[in-house]
Homo-oligomer: A and B are copies of this chain.
Amino acid sequence: MVQIAVFGYGTVGSGVVEVIETNQKEIARKAGDGIHVKYVLDIRDFQGDPIQERIVHDVEVILADPEIKVICETMGGIEPAYTFTKKALMNGKSVCTSNKELVAAHGAELMRIAGEHQCSYLFEASVGGGIPIIRTMNDALTAEKIDRIEGILNGTTNYILTKMERDGAAFDIILKEAQELGYAERNPAADIEGHDACRKIAILSSILYGHNVDYRQIYTEGITKITPKDFVYAKAIDCKIKLIGLSVITKEGEFAMVSPRLVPADSPIAGVNDVFNGIQLHSNMLDTSLYYGRGAGKLPTASAVVGDVVECVKKIGGSIPAAWDETEKKLTDNGAFRQQYLVRIKGMPDAMQQKAEAAFGGIQIVQIPEAADEFAVLTGEMSEQEYRDAAEKIPEIIGMIRR
């Protein structure tokens, strides 16, 4: 029986205990040994809860116990998770986490420390919840050269976009509905402004390059400006609107960004709806593949943490190689990234077409009956910089979505 500890008895932490208890038999078969939660670190007491007798308030108790081989860090946030994780790894205890903030900010350092102390730092749950995307990139597609990652990495925003499209309702109304259903937080900024997706695409990009991609260099745009009319325009050109964490290698450079994007309605990722997440990879031998599932929630996330625990148990005394190192990977400035743009313009095509063509070059006019005093143009492929320069010449622009 391998003894483990859980740091933080919140949603995911209590899920970890539940997963281990419910699926004991399956887990023991896969791990080659049973797994038992000996301690739960939390500042609360949980009086009357069966977990109460395993609660400790002092992290040192756990760090000093040589029986503890693996720790699940499900506290979230940078501190004290960062300090506790470092100490645990320095004590040769593997750490499995769902903490995307910490992985994005200090993952490379923590993996190096793990490697120096014959233990591992794993974080499957930090991206895509229960979808095994980290393991797929690290351990499965090892014969592939991946050149494009497109991820629907945030369930809250995917729910909102799916619902806006289906109901034709405004962003504010659906956000409020999502908050009432518990799909969006009271303070929804991290989700709707794209910050959560940004951390996650930074993690996937770091795996892609084997070097640290600082999330602060990734251009991030949320979904707050998307309106019901945008979905009608999107439909007119056979597309869906999704908040996409994109990381891509083209002949112009290496790019990453988070923004609403138009994806072809018949592409696999367009079928990822509601709170589900999906990550579409393109690689040079396998072509397109997609990984779909629940990207959040107590049990799916906890299951991914426990999957990492199983991995650590199989390798006790050894170290799972770092997915990336501390070298900073500098991405190319997005100004050089080429794509199409769907641009909404105030006015009528007959009056504006010449002006739009002069600015954007060859364009496709998109008109919808729902909008009488505006139209849209789909540009050809042009760089972000070219787009910005062109857009400056047209003050009538209402909005733009990339494709």
Partner of A136, one of B31, B132, B144: B132
Give the CA-CA distance A72 to B17 in the complex, in Å. 41
Give the CA-CA distance A266 to B131 in the complex, in Å. 20
Query: Any chain B CB within 8 A of the CB of A311?
Result: yes
Q: With A139-B311, A142-B30 as known contacts, state yes or no: A293 contacts B289, CB within 8 Å.
A: yes
Query: Any chain B CB within 8 A of the CB of A388?
Result: no
Q: With A286-B294, A289-B294, A293-B290 as known contacts, state yes or no: A143 contacts B19, CB within 8 Å.
A: yes
Give 1 or 0 for each of A249-281: 1 = CB within 8 Å of chain B CB. Answer: 000000000000000001010011100100000
Give the CA-CA distance A294 to B287 in the complex, in Å. 8
Closest residue of chain B to A286, judged by CB? B130
Give the CA-CA distance A310 to B284 in the complex, in Å. 17
Give the CA-CA distance A156 to B229 in the complex, in Å. 40
Q: Are B142 and A307 in contact (CB under 8 A)?
A: yes
Chain B residues with CB under 8 Å of A290's CB are 290-293
Q: How many copies does the complex hold?
A: 2
Q: Are A136 and B139 in contact (CB under 8 A)?
A: no
Shortest Cβ distance from A76 into chain B, in angstroms?
20
Chain B residues with CB under 8 Å of A377's CB are none
Closest residue of chain B to A146, judged by CB? B26
Give 1 or 0 for each of A285-320: 1 = CB within 8 Å of chain B CB. Answer: 111111111100001101110110111000000000
Partner of A26, one of B143, B287, B309: B143
Chain B residues with CB under 8 Å of A273's CB are 266
Q: Are A303 and B143 in contact (CB under 8 A)?
A: yes
Q: With A132-B136, A135-B139, A268-B271 as known contacts, state yes or no: A293 contacts B288, CB within 8 Å.
A: yes
Chain B residues with CB under 8 Å of A300's CB are 285-287
Chain B residues with CB under 8 Å of A310's CB are 142-143
Partner of A140, one of B22, B23, B135, B210: B135
Q: Are A140 and B287 in contact (CB under 8 A)?
A: no
Closest residue of chain B to A294, judged by CB? B287
Q: Are B286 and A23 in contact (CB under 8 A)?
A: no
Chain B residues with CB under 8 Å of A302's CB are 143, 285
A139, A302, A310, A311: residue with the most chain B Cβ atoms closer than 10 Å: A139
Residues in chain A within 8 A of chain B (CB atoms): 19-20, 22-23, 26-27, 29-32, 124, 130-132, 135-136, 138-145, 210, 266, 268, 271-273, 276, 283-294, 299-300, 302-304, 306-307, 309-311, 321
User: What are 19 A-B interface contacts by the 8 Å CB criterion?
Assistant: A23-B145, A26-B142, A26-B144, A27-B142, A31-B142, A130-B285, A135-B135, A135-B136, A135-B139, A136-B140, A143-B304, A143-B307, A144-B307, A286-B294, A288-B293, A289-B292, A290-B291, A290-B292, A292-B292
